[in-house]
Structure 1
Amino acid sequence: MLLPRALMIVALIVTAALWMPVAGTLAVLAEEDVSGPAPIGEAPPEPQSYRTDNYRKPVPLTLKGATVLSDSEAMKIWTAKTAVFIDVYPRAPKPEGLPEGTIWRDTSHMTIEDAVWLPNVGYGVLSADAAQYFQRNLEMLTKGDKTKPLVFFCLKNCWMSWNAAKRALSYGYTNVDWYRDGSDGWQEAGGLVVDAHPLP
């Protein structure tokens, strides 16, 4: 009976250590990881509002007010250079309170060639800073022309691009495309991807 009790105590100590809040870690844990293979499942109906959790799930076939692009349609637009391609793949922030001398390395991200990376603007709820970042960069990328074609994407079956495209529509942009299969579909169709660098 002594051995199981000792094991139970060790397990409790390890569990407590794993859940112990450390400065800066909660911000990272709050970010949802959308990497990995695309989930498989039936496309759900289009919701009325933004998706606020479980972002890597099957997405709708439609987005009211936007044009949904196939791989070939996205490639045609990209080749013609008539639209701004905007990647909204999320990026974990650098944790606060890291010990002095700690080296922080951002995870790498590959995106469609010539696309602009605006990370973290595809969440269902945006902070005031994130919303301002999104609006400011959209205005810069379109030179204030709300009719400029915009193509939003992330990964296959990732709600972040759906949210971002829907939000751009709410900002008054009238020529919004949603590339549903994102960089996954792009690569599968033979398109080039490059190292991404987010706009500051």
Structure 2
Amino acid sequence: MSLVIALALVGAVQVAEPEGYWTGAMRGDVPWALAGARVIDDAALDRLIADERPVLIDVSPEEPRPPGNRPWLPLHRSIPDSRWLPGAGEGVLAPSRVTLLTTIAVRNRAVVIFCHPRCWASWNAAKRLVRAGHPRVFWYAAGIEGWQERHATAVVQPDSAWAASAAVSPAAPRASAGDRP
């Protein structure tokens, strides 16, 4: 089933592609397309993984740490063999982190960007790679939940280079929820 048909069946609203990156609330209706990238469904992702072993990039945010000094050991489940870059889909990203994202997305391999359904983070990250000139960007809008309906997930940790860059990168300014590109 095509992604457009699947979205229509669940009542998703058609949203126009913004010119820039989305800086509003990360959860909500997203465009059904992304200029310069290919939107893929479950079957296309399965074929791509079997045929090409693409770079799989999960841009889901980290769960917020609860208040207090209690031990906190969150688990993040994702598509096996994916690299988790929490925050890589923010609307505003420090230039050093943009460079790192484009480096992790190896240019001579297909790259699949995903997050959760109805999440702008994966759309933003895929758009960032398209704008950087990556030749084969695939956006898996069904995200982790789409994958886990058919396959097992794996516990992943934040990518070590990405986590290290958070410690040395100045925080990018956050746009307010009402801002639109």
Fold in common (TM above 0.5): yes
AA partner of residue 198 (structure 1):
P
Where does residue 6 of structure 1 map in the other structure? none
Ranges in structure 2 where 5+ consecutive residues have no aligned partner: 1-9, 161-181
Where does residue 24 of structure 1 map in the other structure? none
Contact kept, 8 Å, 1:86 with 1:117, in 2: the verdict is yes
What is the alpha-carbon distance in structure 1 between the residues aligned to residue 22 and residue 88 of structure 2? 12
Kindly indicate whether residue 49 of structure 2 is the aligned counterpart of residue 88 of structure 1. Answer: no
> TM-score if structure 2 supplies the norm length?
0.74
Call closer, same or farther: CA 1:104–1:156 in 2, change over 3 Å. same
Contact kept, 8 Å, 2:126 with 2:137, in 1: the verdict is yes
Q: Aligned to 1:118, which of 69, 78, 85?
A: 85
Moved over 6 A (4+): none
Contact kept, 8 Å, 1:118 with 1:134, in 2: the verdict is no
Over the aligned positions, Cα root-mean-square deviation in angstroms equals 2.3
What is the alpha-carbon distance in structure 2 between the residues aligned to residue 81 and residue 113 of structure 1? 15
How much has 1:135 moved relative to structure 2?
A: 2.4
Give the SS at the match of 2:112: strand
Where does residue 187 of structure 1 map in the other structure? 148
Percentage identity across aligned positions?
34
Call closer, same or farther: CA 1:124–1:140 in 2, change over 3 Å. closer
> TM-score if structure 1 supplies the norm length?
0.67
Q: Highest Rg: 1 or 2?
A: 1
Where does residue 135 of structure 1 map in the other structure? 99
Q: Deviations over 1:74-93 (max 9, x none)?
A: 11111224311100001157
How much has 1:133 moved relative to structure 2?
A: 3.2
> Structure 2 matches for 1:1-200, cutoff 5 A?
41-92=12-63, 102-126=69-93, 128=94, 131-140=95-104, 142=106, 146-188=107-149, 190-200=150-160
The structure with higher relative contact order (CA 8 Å, sep 6+) is: 2
Contact kept, 8 Å, 1:55 with 1:160, in 2: the verdict is yes
Ranges in structure 1 where 5+ consecutive residues have no aligned partner: 1-38
AA partner of residue 140 (structure 2):
Y
Call closer, same or farther: CA 1:76–1:88 in 2, change over 3 Å. same
Q: Deviations over 1:54-107 (max 9, x none)?
A: 111111110000000011101111122431110000115769xx98xx345243
Aligned length: 151
Q: Deviations over 1:157-179 (max 9, x none)?
A: 11100000001112221111100
